[in-house]
Structure 1
Amino acid sequence: MAVPATVTMLLIVAAVLPIVVIRTAEARAFFVFGDSLVDSGNNNYLATTARADSPPYGVDYPTRRPTGRFSNGLNIPDLISERIGQSEPPLPYLSPELTGRRLLNGANFASAGIGVLNDTERAMRGTNGGCSAELQRAAALFNPQLDEVLSELNREIGRDVFVGVNTAQMHNDFVTNPGAFGFATSKVACCGQGPYNGLGLCTPASNLCPNRNLYAFWDAFHPSEKANRIIVEQMFSGTAEYMKPMNLTTILQLDART
């Protein structure tokens, strides 16, 4: 069912990654809510240890400087912004630069450290180089129930407003078969310390790989920019296995007709 131009489209992602896209007469405003997977710098303005405002974060960002993104370069909202034709991604809502016409672009309300589980990455709970089977089962139980909740909400509203994004499956694809996506490894993070570079955040004293494109994970928790690009591509073109009830390309096509 087509979504009217004035109605928001909310993406609920298995990793707690809600994203709202609102179409206006001139362009699409983009509002982001979530955790460190989509934080573009809000935690720079908060008293928290969950920060990405020092090197080597941002080593592959266009400015080659840390911005508060938990990535070596661009994150998921950056890449979605590119695909929907925004001149720049939405700024952190705490940024003093979020004024004037920039407000028409939307805003990013994500904050690192608000995730539900923080103890699945391999170094803490895994065995023999694999993820924690117990916690993986917990996620496998949660995600189908989330799909059903979203379907019920859409039925109550009478239109497809909520879209579920199966980021768990998107990650599992390149975790189980990294070579198919051009990665050398999905077991070891590019930047970090401890087993598999899997303890804590990345710091100037951390191990740092020379070629980030060969690693599925940038640090102990977050995909590399290359992996983020794979995730966003699935958001736009993925089948029902990844996007329910439709992908972003279909959403934007329906939106353009209304």
Structure 2
Amino acid sequence: MKGYLRKFQFVGLMLGVMLGIRVNGTSQVPCLFAFGDSLSDNGNNNRLPTLARANYLPYGIDFPGGPTGRFSNGKNFVDFMAELLGFGHYIPPYSEAKGEEMLSGLNYASGSAGIREESGQQLGERITFGRQVQNHKKVVSLVVDLIGGEEAAANHLKKCIYSITIGSNDYINNYFMPDAYPTSRLYTPEQYADGLIDLYGQQLNLLYNYGARKFLLSGLGTTGCAPNALARASPDGKTCVRSFNSVIGVFNDKLKSLIDRLNNHFSHAKFVYGNTYDIFQDLLNNSSAYGFKVTKEACCGGGRNHGAMMCMPGERSCPNRNEFVFWDSYHPTEATIRIVAQRLYRSRSPSDIYPIDISTLAQL
């Protein structure tokens, strides 16, 4: 058995060298897997027939190498989380990953994807949450082959962090679009959230079965304060749309309850809730303390143009991007994302993340 372990440690070291992973204790976890929507997508939608694509300028204007498919002017949430966890590289998109590269994690996220299969379909093709989980199942089989057996693979995967940011499109591109989707007529906010949480829980159970043990589940942000929502439904174009935010709050409350149930049920796993809603609310209410000057408009596209959702190809963006909370009509700027990631990694307030922060989760 000792000989087997020494052999496995040597193989792990060599794979780390090949991958450029920091193997001398700098990287706090061996891998980071990300699931979700455009807040995490870093290129999976680039080759899909969809309007939800960001592989053109001005997207990526502040990212090394330019546009990559990130729905940001620069880095996205997964990039910052990888940096905070000590990775020496960004987590690659599933659509481009090859061989041993997947051992340090993959990003499965897809712009316009939701928990429900139909969410976002009016924008074109997307990789739904369920399909992302199935893609991960395929990767787990490859990890077993690469590492050399199910036991070794399980030991590797249980140390990884699984970041999930999903659900916004089930509202923005479903429930809040009554002309395109019937859901708001068929379900009350409570019923709709219950259905989403049930589907969400099913996928989390599958991920657990595939070896996941450390979960970050990010709640939904203040959708009613986004430039698109202000343009569509705010009475004065400045006041957050309370009806949107209250519906989002129902989902977030049920997600927290789901996390409590999962932590009670799975003794060998840990689920944490990232309270992005309250963090965004703090950024908006105390914007000047964070260096932001513009909170109601987008730096490009959407909010500056009557609520269109995306920046147009080649469109000129604002020069003072670090002073804007929102990059386009729905997505935050790199400056905003950095703050959110930092507060989830090491909480500033007990309400930032529950029950422990990511720096603590990484050490478990």
Aligned twin of 1:213: 322
Alignment of 1:223-238 (within 5 A): 223-238=332-347
Contact 1:160 1:245 in 2 (8 A): no
2:235 to 105, 127, 134: 127
Determine whether 1:170 maps to 2:279: yes
- Taking a change above 3 Å as real, the CA distance of residues 196 and 242 of structure 1, as seen in their structure-2 partners, is farther
CA distance in structure 1 between the aligned counterparts of 2:323 and 2:258, rounded to whole angstroms: 37
1:148 to 242, 257, 260: 257
Q: Give structure 1 stretches of 5+ with no counterpart.
A: 1-24
Q: Displacement of 1:91 after TM fit?
A: 1.0
Alignment of 1:14-93 (within 5 A): 28-63=30-65, 65-93=66-94
Paired residue type of 1:28: P
RMSD: 2.0
Normalising by structure 2, we get a TM-score of: 0.59
Aligned twin of 1:188: 297
Q: Displacement of 1:158 after TM fit?
A: 2.3
Q: Displacement of 1:142 after TM fit?
A: 2.0
Structure 1 runs of 4+ aligned residues shifted over 4 Å read 193-197
CA distance in structure 2 between the aligned counterparts of 1:193 and 1:157, rounded to whole angstroms: 42
CA distance in structure 1 between the aligned counterparts of 2:258 and 2:111, rounded to whole angstroms: 25
Aligned twin of 2:109: 110
Determine whether 1:245 maps to 2:333: no
Percent identity between the two aligned chains: 36
Greater mean deviation of Cα atoms: 234-243 or 213-222: 234-243
CA distance in structure 2 between the aligned counterparts of 1:191 and 1:68, rounded to whole angstroms: 16
Aligned length: 228
Q: Displacement of 1:56 after TM fit?
A: 0.4
Contact 2:302 2:328 in 1 (8 A): no
Contact 2:298 2:304 in 1 (8 A): no
Greater mean deviation of Cα atoms: 120-129 or 106-115: 120-129
Q: Displacement of 1:123 after TM fit?
A: 1.2
3-state SS of 1:216 partner: strand
Aligned twin of 1:13: none
Contact 1:197 1:219 in 2 (8 A): no
CA distance in structure 2 between the aligned counterparts of 1:61 and 1:252, rounded to whole angstroms: 27
CA distance in structure 1 between the aligned counterparts of 2:58 and 2:314, rounded to whole angstroms: 9
3-state SS of 2:87 partner: coil
CA distance in structure 2 between the aligned counterparts of 1:67 and 1:205, rounded to whole angstroms: 15
CA distance in structure 2 between the aligned counterparts of 1:93 and 1:193, rounded to whole angstroms: 28
CA distance in structure 2 between the aligned counterparts of 1:81 and 1:195, rounded to whole angstroms: 32
CA distance in structure 1 between the aligned counterparts of 2:356 and 2:78, rounded to whole angstroms: 19
- Taking a change above 3 Å as real, the CA distance of residues 126 and 161 of structure 1, as seen in their structure-2 partners, is same
- Taking a change above 3 Å as real, the CA distance of residues 172 and 131 of structure 1, as seen in their structure-2 partners, is same
- Taking a change above 3 Å as real, the CA distance of residues 157 and 194 of structure 1, as seen in their structure-2 partners, is closer
Highest CA radius of gyration, 1 or 2? 2
- Taking a change above 3 Å as real, the CA distance of residues 197 and 230 of structure 1, as seen in their structure-2 partners, is farther
Paired residue type of 1:241: S
- Taking a change above 3 Å as real, the CA distance of residues 86 and 177 of structure 1, as seen in their structure-2 partners, is same
CA distance in structure 2 between the aligned counterparts of 1:195 and 1:33, rounded to whole angstroms: 30
Normalising by structure 1, we get a TM-score of: 0.82
Aligned twin of 2:98: 99
Which gives a bigger RCO, structure 1 or 2 (Cα 8 Å, sep 6+)? 1
Contact 2:60 2:70 in 1 (8 A): yes
